[in-house]
Chains A and B, each alone.
Chain A
Amino acid sequence: DTGVSQDPRHKITKRGQNVTFRCDPISEHNRLYWYRQTLGQGPEFLTYFQNEAQLEKSRLLSDRFSAERPKGSFSTLEIQRTEQGDSAMYLCASSSPEVTALYGYTFGSGTRLTVV
Chain B
Amino acid sequence: DQQVKQNSPSLSVQEGRISILNCDYTNSMFDYFLWYKKYPAEGPTFLISISSIKDKNEDGRFTVFLNKSAKHLSLHIVPSQPGDSAVYFCAASGWNTGNQFYFGTGTSLTVIP
Contact = CB atoms under 8 A, between A and B. Distances in A.
B99 A102 contact: no
B44 A107 contact: yes
Contact of B51 (A40, A102, A108): A102
A109 interface: yes
Contacts of B93: 101
A42 interface: yes
B52 to A, nearest CB: 11
A43 interface: yes
A66 to B, nearest CB: 19
B25 interface: no
Given A104-B46, A104-B49, A42 B105 contact: yes
Which secondary structure characterizes the binding site on chain A? mixed
Contacts of B44: 43, 91, 107
Task: Give the interface size class of chain B.
Answer: 20 to 34
Contacts of B34: 102-104
Contacts of A91: 43-44
Contacts of A48: 98-100
Interface string B80-102: 00000000010101000011111
Contact of A42 (B32, B42, B46, B106): B106
Contacts of B100: 33, 45, 48, 56, 58
Task: Give the interface size class of chain A.
Answer: 20 to 34
29 contacts: A33-B100, A40-B105, A41-B105, A42-B89, A42-B91, A42-B104, A42-B106, A43-B44, A45-B100, A45-B101, A48-B98, A48-B99, A50-B99, A55-B99, A56-B100, A91-B44, A101-B51, A101-B93, A104-B34, A104-B36, A104-B91, A104-B101, A105-B46, A105-B101, A107-B36, A107-B43, A107-B44, A108-B43, A109-B43
Interface of B: 4, 6, 9, 32, 34, 36, 41-46, 49, 51, 89, 91, 93, 98-106
Interface of A: 4, 31, 33, 40-45, 48, 50, 55-56, 58, 91, 93, 100-110
